[in-house]
Amino acid sequence: LQKEAYPALDELSFKVSTLNLERVRQIKSRLVAISGRVQKVREELEHLLDDDMDMAAMHLSEKLAYRSAAAQSSRFGTEKEASESDDGSVLAFYWHGDDEIEEHEGSEGGNGNGTSMGFPPRINELEGLLEAYFVRVDGALNKLATLREYVDDTEDYINIMLDDKQNQLLQMGVLLSTATLVITCGILVTGVLAMNIHVPLYKAPTVVFWQTTAGVVGGIITLFAVALLLYRKTGILR
């Protein structure tokens, strides 16, 4: 996932396209699914490490041997004492049926039940193995979290780019609207002068026509420049 994700995210940062967006969407979906699975495994390992009984129940060979010994002891009516735990008390496990297990802590000699047998669980090796798996899974979860942060950062960068493009389009729209307004003012002046009325300007030499045209165009340009200055002064345009 890392080998596919980082190049795809870099490509999306360089060029925003439908194909790149679809690739990143699929990668993000896989990332969410894998993160959920890894988080679930981490929680299960943490639960096992916190519960010595669950770890003891994972010693299948000892469990099988205990069942055989328990069957023989129930047949001959024998009973074995539970071994002492680290704190000096006796820790015994009594199996009932197939899956249930009880923990009994008391004095040496057991509880007097002639059909039960205790055995000391050796969970140190299993605990070390589970801790190694836990560290590995936790490291994978950290890598996934780092990848998720990279995806989020890329999305934020893309959103900033899109917002900047949108701002540029809005500014262009403002410029076009202003240009349309000032050109309309020039058209209004031209329409007034084009009315079929008798004014001294019509009897003037041809040079006056070009002077009037230059004045109208110059007025349009002046109005447009003044509008741009006002926009920059008020912060509408950069």
Residue 15's pLDDT is 84
The answer regarding whether domain 1-74+120-164 maps to CATH 1.10.3210.10 reads no
Q: Give the residue ranges of DSSP H helices in 15-113.
A: 18-50, 52-57, 60-76
The mean per-residue pLDDT over the stretch 88-112 comes to 41
pLDDT at position 205, please?
Answer: 67
Pick the more confident residue, 50 or 95.
50
Q: Where are the domains of the chain?
A: 1-74+120-164
CA nearest 58: which of 47, 70, 69, 71?
Answer: 47
Nearest residue to 24 (alpha-carbon basis) of 190, 174, 157: 157
d(CA 75, CA 65): 15
Could you report the per-residue pLDDT of 204-227, keeping only the tens digit for each?
Answer: 666 677 787 888 888 889 988 998
Residue-wise pLDDT for 28-84, tens only, equals 999 999 999 999 999 888 888 887 777 777 777 777 777 777 777 766 554 444 444
Following DSSP, what letter does each residue of 200-218 receive, concatenated?
GGGGS-HHHHHHHHHHHHH
